[in-house]
A = this chain, B = another copy of it.
């Protein structure tokens, strides 16, 4: 294991270009803080930002809750410094937004999970701080309504949409059960809830008026059952706390089976309805509690079995659930790993989801750049 946590300097923050140069060991939260002090937003946002480091985020092409607005890590990286398998160091830390000179080697390393080289530093984009935010939780009648509302909010003001997250009632029920002081915002009987955040860099933008227009229309047409707008920053944080407490609540309740999947948006509601019905029909005591970045077509399609289930029975059940879910994802042209990568656990699945030509191309690149297989051996490929 190579640990870069002590390589944690922020080398430069250029306010003219709105670019920060950070070493691999810098914690994301630190980047948020340093950027904010200089009047900027570093947009990479995820529950683990207090411990996740720049190098890890880049090597896994990390996602999170702000991908909808700012893109994933791949879109935030302008250049990299990296150590190659042969010991050479390459650097594209020139603070350039555009540079079409030869192959973009940074893009080769982003998301390669450390198998092609070790990222040691990066130039990353910053954005102006948002001077207005609006967070709302909407109760909706079905998964299809989530997609309708996504389109409505985009049409009404695409540039303001900072987050568009879905939470099942079951997920929120567990949170309110296990997390002290939490409760449903508004009614608690809808099958699905959306957590929507809008933001604007101008105080002149009528965010509230815009949100009320979309929500008013959606309520009138039955696409929304209820909408609660956070009236303070504290309340906005409470809404986000609900969303971010889902994984811990699941752990408190049962034995989890987790999936990080993506689907084409047009097929996402059908997936939730139909695969949910298939799993229910097993009558295996599985409780589904999907949530996630539905605005990106990315769900943490999680579920749990009762805590009491024996290890062997659980392993068999898990295998059965994986076969169902991965089979359906393949059939519906989705992704078996939207933001969590391949690592060790999903290596066998990679072969199932990619064509022989794609796998051969990946292996050819790996062999060419790391012929002795010294970079994170055993990850992504065997």
Contact = CB atoms under 8 A, between A and B. Distances in A.
Nearest to A380: B102
A354 interface: yes
A263 B96 CA distance: 6
Nearest to A106: B107
Contact of A97 (B18, B297, B357): B297
Contacts of A86: 357
Interface stretch (A28-36, A87-95, A165-173, A281-289): A87-95
A91 to B, nearest CB: 8
Interface residues of A, number: 96
A243 interface: no
A255 interface: no
B337 A100 contact: yes
Nearest to A199: B159
A96 B361 contact: no
Contacts of A262: 96-99
Nearest to A131: B155
Interface in A153-175: 154-160
Contact of A128 (B108, B155, B209): B155
A113 B61 CA distance: 24
A357 B90 contact: yes
A200 B357 contact: no
26 contacts: A14-B265, A17-B264, A61-B104, A63-B98, A63-B100, A71-B71, A74-B107, A84-B357, A84-B361, A90-B358, A95-B264, A95-B266, A96-B333, A97-B296, A98-B293, A98-B338, A100-B111, A100-B340, A101-B350, A102-B380, A103-B361, A128-B155, A156-B201, A361-B369, A365-B365, A365-B368
